[in-house]
Amino acid sequence: MIFSSVSLTPILSNSWIASRLWTPNWRNGVFSSLTLVHTFASSGSRLLKNKNHYKRLVLSCCSRSFSWQATALSHTNSNSHAVSSNGQLSYGRLLPCPLENSPPRVEHLVVTKEGPVLEYICKALDLPPLYVEDLIQFGAVYYSLVCPKPPPTASPEQIKVYEEVTDPSVLRKRASIKGKTVREAQKTFRITRPDEIVEAGTYLRVHVHPKRFPRCYHIDWKSRIVAVTDDYVVLDKPAGTSVGGTTDNIEESCATFATRALGFSAPLQTTHQIDNCTEGCVVLARSKEYCSVFHGKIREKKVKKLYLALAAAPVPVGILTHYMRPINMAPRLVSEDFVKGWLLCQLEVLECKRIPWPRSEIQSRYNLADCGWALKDFAYECQINLLTGRTHQIRAQLAACSAPLVGDSMYMPAAIAEMVSPGSNPFGKNKKLCTNENDRSLTIDEWIAQHGKEPSVAVGLQACQISWDDGKHCYGARSPWWR
């Protein structure tokens, strides 16, 4: 269906709404049941009193892993946000970078009056202009011409507002979406300038608390450059950093800091990813053209990656095969048995040797999590040839073999739980048979709950070597952090 239009008259009569996401990724389009946010109660009350005059939609949401409480804010160690006497956050600038992340906060707005995006966000969310400018610089503000469709878990009030702003009679008046289908008009894009004009009816998503990467500011980035050519740069990525940035933060990324360290005018581009907690070789393209070329080499399996993994227990030499659940959220679940629709995961353990467990001062330097592993005299350094490149693949596969990576606060707790209580893992060797689908779903949820949070800085994993074109191009990283 195609719509044409001129503008959207203000039709919203919504007050402050707070909702809790089932998943932390808004792009999956997921709402959940409504709850009022305790920390914003005072501002919410002010809006409720003026709800007949205050015409905007705000959907305030946070990830499922965080429980909004006023007391949590008092423990936030942040230079960009200070806690005022009434317990609310006071905003300044995004730099200097705080040592800890602020509580997740994502705001969803529908613009009611055309004007500069900076001005609208400042008024709608009561944020200072410099802070909003920083959010835009970080790539934390998105827009779409039409509000995305809420999922089945949305409240009746949310659905009503969505239906109002996307009614065909309203959309036909908006020239900006002429010739576009609704699906096309609902695609989100980053706001790149604070002076961009947004028309009435535009949907905005503001990541008020971007995920931060303080370690970016403590790295000698020039020393991490392995090679520079006319087409690409090879970087020895430090643990605790993002290769190309996150949904809400493209500023504090390896690509950005490497570009500045080399003095390039054109930004380096990401060709492939490794986990934030993983260190080692990554290839950054110097042009869109070579970025496409390298992507083609990956698709054609011309790129070979070798890893060093520091496991808490010995791993058998040879090929390990698992199947990964095709759901784009952590933790990644793997099964030893074939499951229809699940993704093949294969790696080859080339070598496994016993070495001393990392010293306490090294663990402290890299914020290594103490996950409760009992035997800490020795660890096992494994050289791994990655045959398939799935997210968290090495971490999930080795944990499924009762040999989780040292410091892996997400997968090690689950591996310990399975060792203590065999059968906890519904996809492991000792899995218990479920009599019905409800029991199976409950068992899977309980297994997911056994996993911990993502490591803050490092785990025992390094992308030690990358090569392509049959070894014509081959590059290695420095010694891993645990040596």
| Residue 90 three-state SS | strand
When mean pLDDT is compared across 107-111, 221-225, 280-284, 353-357, the lowest value belongs to: 107-111
For the four alpha carbons of 169, 10, 35 and 31, in that order, the dihedral sign comes to: positive
The residues annotated as belonging to the active site are 275
What is the 8-class DSSP label of residue 98?
P
Q: How confident is the model at residue 237 (pLDDT cuts 50, 70, 90)?
A: very high
* Cα-based distances in Å from 312 to 35, 221, 362, 381, 405: 41, 30, 16, 9, 6
**Domains along the chain with CATH numbers:** 2-207 (no CATH), 214-300 (3.30.2350.10), 306-461 (no CATH)
- Residue 28 pLDDT more than 90? no
Going by C-alpha positions, the residue among 151, 154, 157, 152 that lies closest to residue 33 is 154
Mean residue pLDDT across the chain: 84
Owner of token pair 């496994």: 352
Owner of token pair 């500069």: 116
- Residue 23 pLDDT more than 60? no
- Residue 45 pLDDT more than 60? no
For the four alpha carbons of 114, 117, 122 and 125, in that order, the dihedral sign comes to: positive
When mean pLDDT is compared across 53-62, 385-394, 432-441, the lowest value belongs to: 53-62
What is the full DSSP assignment across 177-197? GBTEEHHHHT--EE---TT-E
**pLDDT 10s digits, 134-175:** 999 999 999 999 999 887 888 898 888 889 999 999 999 999
User: What is the percent of the chain where pLDDT is above 70?
Assistant: 82
**pLDDT 10s digits, 181-208:** 999 999 999 999 999 999 999 999 999 9
For residue 44, what are its two tokens?
């919410």
* Cα-based distances in Å from 471 to 347, 387, 468: 19, 16, 5
- Stretch 212-232: mean pLDDT, rounded? 97
Going by C-alpha positions, the residue among 203, 149, 145 that lies closest to residue 173 is 145
Phi, psi angles (nearest 5°) of residue 436:
-150, 175
| Residue 89 three-state SS | strand
Burial (Cβ within 10 Å: 0-12, 13-18, ≥19) of residue 169: exposed
| Residue 400 three-state SS | helix
With contact defined as beta carbons under 8 Å apart, do 40 and 205 qualify? Answer: no
Going by C-alpha positions, the residue among 127, 147, 144 that lies closest to residue 198 is 144
Phi, psi angles (nearest 5°) of residue 464:
-80, -25
- Stretch 72-85: mean pLDDT, rounded? 50
Q: For residue 248, is it left (φ>0), alpha (ψ between -120 and 50) or beta? A: alpha
| Residue 284 three-state SS | strand
For residue 29, what pLDDT is reported?
Answer: 36
For residue 77, what pLDDT is reported?
Answer: 43
Q: At what angle do helices 117-125 and 129-137 cross, to 10 degrees?
A: 120
